[in-house]
Amino acid sequence: MFNNRIRTAALAGAIAISTAASGVAIPAFAQETNPTFNITNGFNDADGSTAQPAPAVNHTEDQLKELTDATGEYLEDFQSGRIRNIVNEYMQVQASADGFDPSEQAAYDAYEAARVRASAELAASAETITKTRESVAYALKVDQEATEAFEAYRNALNGAAAAINPLINNPVDDKGANDANRTDKQDIEIYDELFSYSLNTRAPELKPAYEELKALQAEVNDDIDWLGDWAVDHRYNDYVTREHVKAVQALKAEIDARVEAIEPLREDAIAKNLLAQESDVLVRQLFLERATAQRDSLRVVEAIFSTSARYVELYENVENVNVENKTLRDHYKSLYPGLFDAAWFNFGQLNIADAETEALFLHWWTDRRTNDEDRAYDRAKLTFAIETYGKIFRNGNWQEEVAYVQNLDAGARQEAADREAARAADEAYRAEQLRIAQEAADAQKAIAEALAKEAENGNNTGGDNSSDDKETGSSDIGSWGPFAAIAAIIAAIAAIFPFLSGIVKF
């Protein structure tokens, strides 16, 4: 009966996976294979189909690489087509101490064990996706905080320039520090105005502007010391005017106030920018795409092993009934072409994601000129979303084929269960009827015995028990004996049949 065909079909799943280079995504066979999954509104935590919160958590690029590499190690044999490794390791053939067992039951156990392993890898991959999303959220968060801190620092420097420059040169009232100067050389400006960044300048280098402000502060402080010297006025046309002293003092006060306000903003911007430099949202996005491609591939691997396990399980199984002109087993076998096509597609997508992650991880050109990576990330996220949603609909064809066969299987099982329940109920009903009939027969027998006994007692009394001399109101208990016995029997029957209790009156 076996003739090598069943064994060949049993291994078809592993062979097809091993020779495949890509695949598609499908929710795991939670209903069939693992009833402990947390299924919410038809979505499954263990296969990554449920929406998960992703707060900002700093899982580093190295950690994400380690997590996805672990899943990649499991999938490597499937991607590379190493059938011997799959059969030996994932189907646990080498673990058999008493030689290879060629029975269908042993094949079922092997496929089920492989399915359990694939399910565990899929659950781990779903967790990796969540961690990667948390990592992306963290990188975006620190990038945004660094950008906000930079803008606050830049605006403070621009505000300093806007407030300080009129105190150096004021064309309106000629009361700037340079305008009022009459020292050293007449009409020569001694202070340079601060540089001011345009608010449209997206990413200026702020260090030169800060150093220019600090240099001006040092110069003004030095001039204050010089202007306060006793012998500062020492020759004609070379003296300190009262307007100049006031202007320099006003300039110093403004510079000191601005520097005091800018210093904490500068320290905050530097600290947050250093933190943002430690992560790259675009690299983390690559790992998210890789983890998602791994999840999609694992869904197919799990589905093929699950289908194979059920296919072998139905060998000579009473559950292998005819449904829609084919056995359930034949229905499961018909799923393989769609599953193999899905494997080719999904592993192809995984190969692309692996190559991009390997090529761009730690490569300088993936880094932006600044930590403001929102626009680049938005483009990458949109592309990824379009591809992800597209795969949902592309994979729907084979997913529906699998669901259809599973529904047929579940329906056949339910029909068998209903038939068994109906048979058990019919047997219980018949047993109850037999019990009731037996109790009724016993009751009738008891009535007959009671009547016979009462008749016997009546025959033994002899003579006429009636007397016209008895007092009114007296009773002859003996004459009521048969009726009392009958009433007792009826009461017994009423106890057996409760519905008579409302009819029989005593």
Give the model's pLDDT for residue 434: 85
HEC-encoded secondary structure of 437-497: HHHHHHHHHHHHHHHHHHHHHHHHHCCCCCCCCCCCCCCCHHHHHHHHHHHHHHHHHHHHC
The answer to the question of residue 467 being in a domain is: no
The tally of domains found in the chain comes to 3
Shared domain for 320 and 404, answered yes or no, is: yes
The residue whose two tokens read 């003296």 is 239
Q: Where are the beta strands (DSSP E) in 272-315?
A: none
221 residue type, one letter: N
Domain match, 239 and 292 both: no
Taking only the tens of pLDDT, the chain with its 506 residues reads: 333 333 333 344 444 444 443 333 333 443 444 444 566 677 888 888 888 888 999 999 999 999 999 999 999 988 887 888 888 877 767 666 777 888 899 899 989 999 999 999 999 999 999 999 999 999 999 989 998 999 899 999 999 999 999 888 876 676 777 776 766 544 445 778 887 776 555 667 888 889 999 999 999 998 888 777 776 666 666 667 777 788 889 999 999 999 999 999 999 999 999 999 888 898 999 999 999 999 999 999 999 999 999 999 999 998 888 989 999 999 999 999 999 999 999 999 999 999 988 888 766 556 666 666 777 888 889 999 999 899 888 877 888 898 899 999 999 888 888 888 988 888 888 888 888 888 888 888 888 878 788 777 766 655 555 545 545 444 444 455 555 556 666 666 655 555 444 444 44
Domain boundary residue, one of 211, 246, 277: 277
Final residue belonging to a domain, choices 277, 311, 337: 277
- What is the reported pLDDT for 5? 36
106 burial type by CB count under 10 A (0-12 exposed, 13-18 middle, 19+ buried) = middle
d(CA 128, CA 326): 41
161 and 133 in one domain?
no
Q: Is residue 466 part of a domain?
A: no
The DSSP call for residue 369 is: S
> Are residue 73 and residue 176 in the same domain, yes or no?
no
Domain identity same for 205 and 326: no
Q: Which two tokens stand for residue 439?
A: 């109790």
Task: Let me know whether 186 and 126 are in one domain.
Answer: no
Same domain, 225 and 136: no
Q: In this structure, is residue 97 part of a structural domain?
A: yes
pLDDT value for 265: 97
Max CA distance (Å), the chain? 176
Written as six digits, the tokens of 246 are: 């006031």
Predicted pLDDT of residue 294: 96
223-243 confidence digits (pLDDT tens):
888 777 776 666 666 667 777
Is residue 249 in some structural domain? yes
Q: Are residues 113 and 23 in the same domain?
A: yes
* 174 and 141 inside one domain: no
- Same structural domain for residues 93 and 158? no
**Boundary residue ending a domain (215, 249, 277):** 277
Range of the domain at 242: 150-277
| Co-location of 449 and 364 in the same domain | no
- CB of 392 closer than 8 Å to CB of 299: no
Do the beta carbons of residue 274 and residue 169 sit within 8 Å?
A: no
In a domain, 465, yes or no: no
Domain-embedded: residue 429: yes
Domain check: are 26 and 62 in the same one?
yes
The confidence score (pLDDT) of residue 148 equals: 92
